Structure 1
Amino acid sequence: MADTAPSEDRQRILLVTGMLGAGKTTVLRELENLGWEALDNFPIRLLRRLIGKEGERHEQEAPPLAIGFDGRTRGFKPDEIIARVKQLSARPDLVISTLFLDCTTVELERRFDETRRRHHMAQDSPLTEGIAAERELLAPLRHWADVLIDTTRYSTNELKQVVRDRFGAESPGSLTVTVASFGFARGVPPAADLVFDMRFLDNPHWVPELREQTGLDPAVGQHIERDPSFAPAFERIADLVTFLLPRYDAQGKTYVTVAIGCTGGRHRSVYTAEKLAGVLRGAGFTPTVLHRNLGSRAAEMIEGVQQS
């Protein structure tokens, strides 16, 4: 259904959920610092009552609203939550998105041990069993969410920066674009909308003086640019992305993640992601750039065997 209300009159709502210990409280507090109204542990069954009926505008310019909830929230049933939100999302006066915060089990165990907290699903069982049960319970929400942030490698300050990058300058109805580099050896980002594979390019890892550098270093960029396949491939990728983004926006999509991959996620993907972000800025977009594996150690076991 096409939007009938002007974008500036639409109430922006972000639902924040995810694994306990993955950083929900940090995210909500940072959103508050950015001017959002934030509620935590809110019963989602009361969401319709909180928002009001269609056409009811208590404030002409209501600030964006962030609502946090997790498996501890009363009446937490993922399938019912998704159904309720789908119904509300059809309203022309609302823009509703869902952010899911994930984290590896090993890191969650470390965080629980550090804070000496007890997991609500592991009262009389090992912590790993509680985390596994919660992960199974939340699986439908994780799959359905508009944005997924894996906080495993983030410090509190780094997570706050990600929140500022994604939501700080956001206006209702605007398209938030993320360009992310990654290493295929460490898995494809689960929230990627478009994925481009740069492993066909000559690998700087096998040049001794470039191995410990990254795609942010000029020498690595020059090496990649010298590959005759880079320029025509990059031109096609940039043309496709700039062609698609306005069409995603027209369809009401709030977030688009463009993922650029290479083997280890340190050289070819990083350089290409930075260059693509520059093209998008020139086209009028304001992309956030994330380098997932930039800090990972260069290793032959990741890069494979050099081809002679």
Structure 2
Amino acid sequence: MPDHGSTPRPEAGAENVPELVIISGMSGAGRSTAAKCLEDLGWFVVDNLPPALIPTMVDLGARSQGNVARIGAVVDVRGRQFFDDLLTSLDELEKRGVRLSVVFLDSSDDALVRRFESVRRPHPLQADGRIVDGIAQERDLLRELRGEADLVIDTSNLNVHQLRAKLDAQFADHDEPELRATVMSFGFKYGLPVDADLVVDCRFLPNPHWVPELRARTGTDSDVADYVFRQPGANEFLNGYAELLRIVTEGYRREGKRYMTLAVGCTGGKHRSVAMSERLTKRLVADGVETVLVHRDMGRE
């Protein structure tokens, strides 16, 4: 798989070479929604484009005199040869200095099964087997691509509007920041976010849940946040991890990584993780990182 982080910049005279986003991922995880979102943002989007034709599409965009500045190509990988063609095409584009990102849409098996059952359609790879058999085969085929994706979005608990908001935050036409971050608080009892690049565990701090007057409140309330950061080690952890994030974000910038998801967890995703994620978001913003804050599980109990 090509190393997107080491992509060379296009040579002089190649200013009309369009930016390219590959949208892939699990069937039923929202590829069509992602394609429609990019179209609404002004991207030229081609659905189900054979991977071998992706370089040709980029060449056509380059000849448009800037009229096609951003191309989205939606691809799925349903066979070994298809996957090999995709890797070959991406490698060719990397060598040519095309600005390239791969977005991978994922979802839990349970969520995918529910979606296929709700529309009464078979999974494209299940053949005569069960939906879960098709999902397992597709997940195996896509494993390497998912591992190398620039941005992974878990749509298990997202509705259409939330998915569009995530993509809008990443691909809307505004001045391109060096690095975008999503800070997401979550509850371990609801599962780890599958799209997290970094995970922070705040369960070493006393839980405000056991303080009667704080139980119904959340980490966005000042009295809960004050309680959390009065605990031994809380501020030391915040300061130490903020410093670690500076090292990580500087490294991401050097490697050309444009997206980062930081997951901050506690037991239920209501108190400690929310308070810590709020403070870490402020530190990232102060360091010049464009940051979106999401409280995944707050209000879920």
Q: Which TM bucket (shorter chain)? A: 0.7 to 0.9
Is there any run of 5+ residues in structure 1 with no aligned partner, and where?
298-308
Q: 1:83 deviation in Å?
A: 4.1
Residue aligning to 1:46? 53
Q: Which moved more, 1:79-88 or 1:264-273?
A: 79-88
1:174 and 1:260, CA in 2 relative to 1: closer, same or farther beyond 3 A? Answer: same
TM superposition score normalised by structure 1:
0.84
1:132 and 1:269, CA in 2 relative to 1: closer, same or farther beyond 3 A? Answer: same
In 1: Cα distance, 2:86 partner to 2:117 partner: 31
- What is the identity, as a one-letter code, of the residue corresponding to 2:200? F
Q: 1:16 deviation in Å?
A: 0.6
Q: Which moved more, 1:98-107 or 1:185-194?
A: 185-194
Q: Which moved more, 1:171-180 or 1:199-208?
A: 171-180
Contact in 1 for aligned 2:187/2:266 (Cα 8 Å):
yes
- What is the identity, as a one-letter code, of the residue corresponding to 1:26? T
Residue aligning to 1:69? 75
Contact in 2 for aligned 1:147/1:255 (Cα 8 Å):
yes
Q: 1:4 deviation in Å?
A: 4.3
1:9-24 equivalence runs, <5 A? 9=15, 11-24=18-31
In 2: Cα distance, 1:191 partner to 1:262 partner: 17
Contact in 2 for aligned 1:180/1:260 (Cα 8 Å):
yes
Q: 1:271 deviation in Å?
A: 1.5
TM superposition score normalised by structure 2:
0.85
1:176 and 1:6, CA in 2 relative to 1: closer, same or farther beyond 3 A? Answer: farther
Contact in 2 for aligned 1:180/1:289 (Cα 8 Å):
yes
- 1:178 partnered with 2:173: no
Contact in 2 for aligned 1:70/1:76 (Cα 8 Å):
no
CA RMSD of aligned residues (A): 2.8
Q: 1:80 deviation in Å?
A: 4.1
Contact in 2 for aligned 1:197/1:260 (Cα 8 Å):
yes
- 1:15-48: per-residue Cα shift (whole Å, max 9, x none)? 1111111111111111111222211111111111
In 1: Cα distance, 2:272 partner to 2:11 partner: 42
Residue aligning to 2:42? 35
Residue aligning to 1:124? 128
In 2: Cα distance, 1:48 partner to 1:133 partner: 28
Question: How many pairs align?
Answer: 294
SS across alignment from 1:21: coil
In 1: Cα distance, 2:44 partner to 2:298 partner: 34
Contact in 2 for aligned 1:16/1:24 (Cα 8 Å):
yes
- What is the identity, as a one-letter code, of the residue corresponding to 2:180? T
Residue aligning to 2:3? none
1:278 and 1:122, CA in 2 relative to 1: closer, same or farther beyond 3 A? Answer: same
